[in-house]
Structure formats: C-alpha cells, structure tokens
Structure 1
Amino acid sequence: MVVLNTFQQAPHAALPKANPEEAARQEFSKSLKQFVQQGLLPGLGPIFRTRATRRFEREAGRAPTDRHDIRKAMVPDSYFQHYAAVNRISQELLWDGVIDSIDRDLDGLRGRAADASAQNKGELRLPKTFDVPRYVSALDIHCMPGGYAGHGAGNDPALGALYDRGVFLYAMGYTGPDNDDMGRSVCNYIKRRLNGFSPTRILDMGCTVGHSTLPYKELFPDAEIWGIDVAGAQVCYAHARAGAMGLDVNFAQMNAEQVDFPDSHFDLIVSHILLHETSGKAMPQIFKECHRLLSPGGYMIHADLPPFDLMDPFTQFILDNETYYNNEPFWGAMRDMDQVKLAVDAGFPSDTIRFDTAPMAVMEFAASAAAGYSQDAVDSVAERDFTAGEFAPGGGWEVLIAQKAA
C-alpha cells in the first residue's frame, strides 16, 4: 500500500529541485519552525501569567487588559526574546535554503516553467505597464527577499518558485503536499454548506502562485477560473504551475482594488489570506469590487484567520507577533477592522454576512487516513478549537462569507 506523506511537498515540473544538502537545510528550517511552535510557544503562557504580569502590575499599577498591554509585559522578558529571535531566524533560514536551489538551476527552472506554461490552455494576461501598490512593493512581506512582487524581477518565474517552496516550509507542511490546503478547505466548505451551489465563473483574488486556485478547477471542472495578483512574476509562475499539474486555469496581473472584468461577471469570488496582506484603505475598495463583479446571488468568500474579537487577548498577542517581527504591517490592523460593516457598506445584505470555520483539509485527510477513513475521526478534527499559531495543528481557516442580493 502506498501512503501519501501529507507533510512533504509533492514535486512538479516548475518547482525548484533541491540537491541533498539543500533539501537537508530546508527540512531543518521547517523543523526549527515546528520546534518554535511546539517547543517554545507553549512556554509563553506560563511566563505571561506569572513574572511578566507581576512586572507589568508593578510598573503600571494595574493588570494587563489587551494585546498591547500583554506585549508591554512580555517584550522585556528573556524567554520571549529567545522565542521571537529563534522564530525570526527560522524564517530567514528557509528563504536562504530555497534560494540556493533556485540559483544553482536557474536556467533549468526557467525552461521547465516555460514548457509547463505552454501546457496550460488557460489565458495568461500581462499588461504592458502595471503599478504594484506600495503596500506590497515597499517591504519584503514574510521577510521574503524581494517581496511577493520583487524589486526589478519583471516576470521571472524564479520569484514564484521561491514563494511556492518557501510558503510550504513556512507552513511546516500544513498547506498539504500541493500547498493548496486553504483552497481545498474552502472547496470542502462550499460542497458541505452551500447547498449545491455551482458557479460557472470563479475569481481568486491575490492568488500569488495559484496554489489555492487550483482546487476550484477540480471541484468545478467546467467553470471559467481566473487567478489575479499584483505580482507579474507570481502569476507567470502560477500559469506554469497549473500547466505542470495538468490543469487549464487563467491568470492575470491585476489589482483586486480595480479588476478589469465587467459587472456581474463572476458567480464566486474568493481570496486566501489576501486581507491581511492589504492596507486599511484598500480593503473597503476590494469589498466594493467583489460586490460589483458578482452576479446576483453570487458569493464572496475571504479565508483568513479570525478577527481579534473572536480571540482572547493572549492569542491576539501571539498572532500579532507577525506584525512586529515578520514584515506583516497589516496583520493586526486588518483584524481590528469591522469586516462585516465593510461588506454591508459594499452593498451586501447584512443577513447574508457571517464568519464561519472551514476545517483544514490536510488535517481531515490525515485523521481519516490514520483511522481508516473513520467519519468520527474526521469530525473530531473538524471540531477542534482554533489554536494560536498561523498553521496550528487541528486549526481551521476562518471564512467571511457574503452573498449578493438575487
């Protein structure tokens, strides 16, 4: 019997091919991240509840009440400093290991990507000129060298290859062998919860390398599917990646704030961790574009992590470390925004707007495989509570759902 290792990335033609030394370094960075999550992170709670809180109370004359107070209490503590430093080092190490694989075989990677792109019968739309929003271009998000859009990278698929492999390592394998857990989880949610909804045109906003886009082609094989992103290099790689996986999907360099499609063109618009990568000024416009682009009765589904009002302050503090230490300036700000109000202001009826949880597909698969596809095992995974840490075992993706009036 062949057993799929859910936590190893599946190879495809466009993915960088690591030699044994590079693979070992990459696995080390992934394992170091797992150690941070499983070995260091659990120790933060006891530190906060004891010496950090006592220090804050002595200095402030009151107990800490919100994530900002907790940060003031924790940052001076040597244990927290150790945790934050190792976490940042692990992030930088993973990019270094992948870059070596790309640089060693750059011409080969470009050639394989070109061949794979030619296999994709879907359109690749690249404008002659394009202004990448400053909130994307001004910093290296996730500490990724060059950022998502690169600095003068043009449309070189090497930047997409860096993202494809780097994100898998960052997620410690919890995005699944095809790096597609978010899209697959939302697809599972649609099948289970949207009562036979079958869109004919689907738009994935902020698709980067299209890893979350492709499951929609599997679920809705006859649908016209588009993935858009502000990074030309990412959508070029996405087009090649889809071809390498035998799927015909359209990709375009576009800004989700101003999408070059007519009104009511799509039945389903999705995004996967787009919202916390965009600015507070851009997000209202993105919601308005979703409403404009949707056909009557169509759905908008944004998958991300829960808003802060659904978490306790300590969990908020843990997640907000991305804002401070991983070049994620909109991480905390996005979760403070009233996304339901943004959807209402964009034109969605208030009674159609809700937050829900899409259980992680990779965890459901792992549980069902281990239990011989026992439905009880699947249900037990689906019912676990959200745990601090972006890719925490047993977690679920939070989805914001709204439906345009019919």
Structure 2
Amino acid sequence: MVNTFQQHQHAALPRANHDERARQEFTKSLKQFVQQGLLPGLTPVYQTRAAKAFEKEHGKPPADRWDIRKAMVKDLYFQHYAATNRIAQELLWEAVIGSVERQLPELEKAIADLTASNPAPLESDPAFPVPRYVSALDIHCMPGGYASEIDGKDIAQGAIYDRGVYLYAMGYMGPDNDDMGRSVCNYVKRKMPGFQPKRILDMGCTVGHSTVPFKEQFPDAEVIGIDVGGPCVRYAHARSKALGHDVSFMQRSAEDTGFEAGSFDLVVSHILLHETSGQAMPRIFRECHRLLKPGGLMIHADLPPFDLMDPFTQFILDNETYYNNEPFWGAMRDKDQIGMARDAGFPAETIRFDTAPMAIMEFAGADTTYTEDAAEALAEREFTAGEYAPGGGWEVLIAQKAA
C-alpha cells in the first residue's frame, strides 16, 4: 500500500520545522524499509537456515513460536532486522521530542486556549495513582510513557504521542490517526443499524484518536474518553476542540472508572487490552459489564488471538513483546478473552470475535494508492455503509449485556 499523504495539521499538533520534518520523515521511511525490505526476508531465512539448524541441534523441528524464536535469534539476518527495527523506533521518538521541546511554550498556550473553548468536562489530577503496568516502563519505547508529567498542566506526552504514533503507523491510520475508531463506528453502523447509543465510553483513549469518531458518528451522544495519563487527557480535550468537537476526557482507570453502574449504552476500547496486565484484563471486563445498561454493548478493538494464526506468524508479531517495550503484547493474545467476558457476566451467546474492515480501505475501494486530494477527502468524509475492499481490518471482541 502506497501512502503519500501527511498528517492533518490541527491547531494542537506540534509544527515541525524543515529539519525536524526531514528527520521525522526519515524515521518513517526507515520503518517502511524494515517492514517492506527486511521483514519479508525472515521467512526464507527461517525455512532454509534457522529451522534446519534448530532441528540439527535439538533433534526435532521447531514446534511453537518460542522454538522459532530460539532458532531465529542466532541468525545474523534476524539480528540485523531486530536491531534496525529498534533503532528506527528510538530515532522516531528522538525526532519528535526535539520538535515538541522547541515549541513547548507555544503548544501550551494553544492547548490552554482550546481547552478554555471546549465546554465538555476535562478531569485530571497529578496525584492520580497510575497503574504500575503503565508507569513501570516506557511503552513503545516512548520516553516517559503516557503518564509522566512535571506539573498538573503538562501536555508534552500527549503532543509527543500524537505526532509519534502517526510515524509509528507510517501514516496507515489516516491523516488524523483515527482509522481504528472510524472502523469500529462503521462496523456498528453496518451491523447494528438501529443502535443509537446516548452515552459512550472510550477506555484507554490516550489522545482521543479513536474517541472523536464516535462523536462524529453519534453527534447527539455524550462521548467520554478516559486514560490513566494526565498529559494525554489534557491534550486530547484540546485536540477534540481543534477538530471541531466537544468531547469529555477524564483521567481514570478502566479497571475502576468511578462512573455509576448502568450508565453507558456503549463501552469501547482501541488497542487497550494488550497494554494492560493479565490481572487487569478480567477487572476491565467486569467493569464494562457493570457500566453498561441492559442491552448495552462492549466492543474491544485490539490484536487477534494467537490461536487464529500459525506459529511463524505468532513469532513475527510477538517481536513487539521483546523489542518494543510491549510486555503484555504476546500474553494478551494467549488469554481466553471470550471466557473472561463470560465470567464478567455477559451471556455466552452474545460474545464473539469479528473483523471491522479498515475505514481507510473502505474509502479507497479497490485502489490502495493515496493522493493528497484523497487525504483531504478522507479527513472530511462522511461515514458510509458501502462496500469495502477486502484485505484490511481490526479484530473486535463484542459482547452484549443481557436486556
């Protein structure tokens, strides 16, 4: 897929100068080279060298992703791939952080003005107890993670994340980094045309990339995004206003939100579950069930379970666990999420995995080449329930509370 458009420059987004943009575009291009140039070589390396060496040493072929890893980590080609991928990730954040630090006073002023003009509630607390599974490491190798802050007004981590995750995704999440939220919204509209939620909660929202599409799709609904990172929710609140929407953002934990029981029609999350611990996940599912009204829906968009793919694909995807500070990435994929949803109180017949086609693929149709004109149209497009191009989608776990 060729990606030629740039990130939408809204009023809250850091503005890179010439040299900063050049460095940032280089890191994005380096990541694309890793994915398109180096990654495809892992399969023949495994088949022709690593697997045979493993079998010679152990007297049996590799049986699972752990055996495959033992075989591959000794191979020079894999070492080159893994090292280059990690270097690209670290360079990405370095290129963004310098740009944010240079203009931080101007960014803080812009954020303050946007916040003041957004009537939707904003809640943050520098004394908030951030869960250790978030605070103990720099997730995605992002220095400081989601929650580090200097004072109760800090927005730097949010600004870093907004620009950095666009580069991390190499632009394939669209000019507003919002493809996952748009995709889930399109899925809801297509699969449940009569469902009109009046109150929607987005758990683990970071800077609201996937939250804002729910306000676009359901303009009469109250939409609330929560995250444990104070700088993220402050930035998200201003960012939603910069995009023309009044959305509430609050610093709260998905494990214990503090909202009243039965107060939401729809509870969603987007790439949250693989960044929580094994102990937190069942608590999050129980909290979703508690929060939903009878007949309400829980939808978690995240990574597909490992049992849906072959061991070599598992190995490839599990590299994020080992090399990108994603300690729960692989463990989450081994969890029985359907069982956890059932144990949380959702009727078994309502629980299922499904695929929400990527909104950006729906927009492109059969053409996966993106132009600047297409990027502008994508940023402004109305939601449609039309045909979509096969080949790209997000895994969603869906459950419905008993009526």
Q: Structure 1 length as normaliser, TM-score?
A: 0.92
The equivalent of 2:383 in structure 1 is none
Q: Does 2:298 align with 1:308?
A: no
* Letter aligned with residue 180 of structure 1: D
Counterpart for residue 67 of structure 2? 69
Give the match for residue 36 of structure 2: 38
Count of matched residue positions in the alignment of Structure 1 and Structure 2: 387
Aligned counterpart, 1:196: 194
For 1:354, the aligned partner's letter is R
User: SS where residue 302 of structure 1 aligns?
Assistant: strand
Report the equivalent of 2:399: 402
The aligned residue for residue 257 of structure 1 is 255
Range 274-283 or range 5-14, more displaced: 5-14
The aligned amino acid for 2:17 is N
CA distance in structure 2 between the aligned counterparts of 1:126 and 1:255, rounded to whole angstroms: 12
Counterpart mapping for 1:238-387 below 5 A: 238-367=236-365, 379=387, 381=389, 383-384=390-391
- Residues 55 and 73 of structure 1 are in contact (CA less than 8 Å); yes or no, is this contact kept in structure 2? yes
Indicate the residue corresponding to 2:154 in structure 1.
156
SS at match of 2:224: strand
- Cα deviations by residue, 1:108-160 (Å, 9 ceiling, x for unpaired): 01101111112222100124631000000000000001011115464411110
Match of 2:137 in 1: 139
2:112 to 111, 114, 132: 114
2:123 paired residue number: 125
Q: What is the DSSP-based 3-state SS (H/G/I as helix, E as strand, rest coil) of the residue aligned with 2:278?
A: coil
SS of match in other structure, 1:23: helix
Tell whether the 8 Å contact from 1:117 to 1:242 is kept in structure 2 after alignment. Answer: no
Matches of 2:171 and 2:39, distance apart in 1: 18
Does the 8 Å contact 2:353/2:395 carry over to 1? yes
Paired residue for 2:49? 51
CA distance in 1, matches of 2:55, 2:151: 50
User: Equivalents in 1 of 2:220, 2:4: separation in Å?
Assistant: 28
Q: C-alpha distance in 2, partners of 1:398/1:104?
A: 38
SS in 2 for 1:356: strand
User: How far off its partner does 1:175 sit?
Assistant: 1.1
User: Residue 149 of structure 2 contacts residue 231 of structure 2 at CA under 8 Å; is this kept in 1?
Assistant: no
d(CA) in 1 for partners of 2:51, 2:203:
42
Amino acid across the alignment from 1:359: P
What is the CA–CA distance in structure 2 between the aligned matches of 1:117 and 1:356, rounded to whole Å? 37
Aligned counterparts of 2:16 and 2:204: Cα–Cα separation in 1: 27
Query: What is aligned with 1:219?
Result: 217
* Alpha-carbon distance between aligned partners in 1 of 2:367 and 2:319, rounded to the nearest angstrom: 34
**Deviation of 1:364 (Å):** 2.2
In the TM superposition, what whole-angstrom CA distance separates every residue of 1:291-314 from its partner, at most 9, and x where no partner exists?
000000000000011010111111
Letter in 2 for 1:356: D
Give 1:355 shift. 0.3
Give the drift of 1:365: 1.7
- The 3-state SS of whatever aligns with 2:365 is helix
Match of 1:231 among 229, 232, 252: 229
- Say if 2:10 and 2:243, in contact at 8 Å, map to a contact too: yes
Aligned-partner Cα distance in 1 for 2:143–2:264: 34
Cα deviation, 1:310-352, whole Å, max 9, x if unaligned, reads: 1111111011001000000000000010000000000000000
For the residue of structure 1 that corresponds to 2:175, the secondary structure is coil
Match of 2:171 among 151, 170, 173: 173
Amino acid at match of 1:248: D
Q: Identify the residue that residue 210 of structure 1 maps to in structure 2.
A: 208
Write the letter of the residue equivalent to 2:393.
G
In the alignment, residue 182 of structure 1 is paired with which amino acid? M
User: Partners of 1:47 and 1:379 in 2: how far apart?
Assistant: 38
Conserved 8 A contact 1:155-1:234: no
Structure 1 residue 228: deviation in Å?
A: 0.2
Deviation at 1:79, TM superposition (A): 0.4
1:96 is matched with which residue? 94
Residue ranges of structure 1 left out of the alignment (5+ in a row) = 385-394
Residue 379 of structure 1: how far off its partner (Å) = 4.9
What is the identity percentage for the equivalent residue pairs of Structure 1 and Structure 2? 70
Equivalent-residue separation in structure 2 for 1:403 and 1:206 (angstroms): 20
Q: State the AA in 2 paired with 1:157.
A: I
Contact 1:94 1:166 in 2 (8 A): yes
Within 2, Cα distance between the matches of 1:380 and 1:212?
20
Q: 1:370 to 1:232 in 2, by over 3 A?
A: closer
Rounded Cα–Cα distance in structure 2 between residues aligned with 1:90 and 1:154: 32
The secondary structure found in structure 2 opposite 1:241 is helix
Query: Could you say what secondary structure the match of 2:269 adopts?
Result: strand
User: For residues 148 and 20 of structure 2, what CA distance do their matches in structure 1 show?
Assistant: 23
